[in-house]
Amino acid sequence: MTSNLLLLITAALWGFAFVAQSKGSQSMDAFSFNAIRFALGAIFIRIALHKSFKKQSKLLWQPGLVLFIAASLQQIGIIFTTAGSAGFITGLYVLFVPLFGLFRKQIPGSRLVIAIALALPGMYLINSTGGLRASFGNLLVLVSALFWAIHVQLVDKYSKLHSTGQLAFGQFAICALLSALSALIWRFSTSSTEVFSAAYFSGIAKAWLPILYGGLISVGIAYTLQIKAQQKAEPAAAAIIMCLEGVFALLGSYLLLSEAVGLRSIFGALLMLFAMILASLPKKLVDRNRGSDLSAQTLS
């Protein structure tokens, strides 16, 4: 149950981060925003969890590479689509995680299948107010959802082999480095005057609050909690709980931005809540109930 609580906190922190990412994209390019926030997250973890690092720690590049691709595609996609569409399409990783899990011989039980079936329409009702349309931004976010699913599976694999600090710092550092290199290439290819002009640094200054939240909270704390939780939680169940970020994004828009919340969004949140409860049920409890049903059938 502790791992489920950590995943729930992770979903909450990520949910409020959607506003920060949207605000950051208004004054900065996606690569620069990700480079700074992941570098900030790496520094934070290196200091906070310094005791978990060994003298000859191995820098884990695979999760960092996948994280870079997923975060970049999502951040760029948000520029060309609505936050609601991005939120729903990103949440589709709840479906992709168990599909990729089949290649690792992870067979989801019936309760997880039902939970996924509840979570998908729940996410749609929360995020899609005007319907989904085919667009370049939505396509980028959809591809990012595939890489988020791969990332969940990689975290499941490496979190059982390495310390939380090592895995967190490794993926943050690699993601920050690749984002910084991409930012340089992007600036050189798109800037007609100075690559790093006064306007560029002014944009960073305007986004200081989204960067701070994205670096310390969304990256430094939330991603690290995900690693810690996935040391015990199965990937499919973890994905269902983490996709509640859409519910917290809705709550954040209501509390922080005073946006109205309709009945369809409330109904969607309830569906996702039921999905989370179903996914969080202890396996022993589910097996015990199943055994009771079989005993009753035998006696009858």
- Which H, E and C letters describe 140-180, residue by residue? HHHHHHHHHHHHHHHHHHHCCCCCHHHHHHHHHHHHHHHHH
Would you list the DSSP string of 253-275? Answer: HHHHS-----HHHHHHHHHHHHH
Helical H segments across 191-282, by residue range: 198-206, 208-212, 224-229, 235-242, 245-256, 263-280
Range of the domain at 229: 2-190+206-277
Please say if the pLDDT value at position 287 is more than 60: no
Residue 291 resides in a domain: no
Per-residue model confidence as pLDDT tens digits over 208-259: 998 999 999 999 999 999 999 999 999 999 999 998 887 887 776 677 666 6
**Mean pLDDT (the chain, rounded):** 83
Per-residue model confidence as pLDDT tens digits over 94-140: 889 999 999 998 988 888 889 888 888 888 887 655 555 667 888 89
Residue 109 resides in a domain: yes
Do 37 and 219 form a contact (C-beta atoms < 8 A)?
Answer: yes
Residue 246 resides in a domain: yes
Whole-number Å distance between alpha carbons of 243 and 11:
7
Whole-number Å distance between alpha carbons of 258 and 285:
41
Residue 81 resides in a domain: yes
Residue 161 resides in a domain: yes
Residue 77, C-beta contacts closer than 8 angstroms, at least 6 positions apart:
86, 137, 138, 139, 140, 141, 144
Between 49 and 279, name the one with better pLDDT. 49
Give the confidence band of 176 by pLDDT, cuts at 50, 70, 90: very high
Residue 296 resides in a domain: no
Secondary structure class of 239 (helix, strand, coil): helix
Residue 59 resides in a domain: yes
Residue 113 resides in a domain: yes
Q: Note the maximum CA span of the chain.
A: 82
Give the confidence band of 84 by pLDDT, cuts at 50, 70, 90: low
Name the domain count of the chain. Answer: 1
- Predicted local distance difference test score (pLDDT) of residue 231: 92
pTM for the model stands at 0.83
Report for 49-58, 180-189, 259-268: range of highest mean pLDDT = 180-189
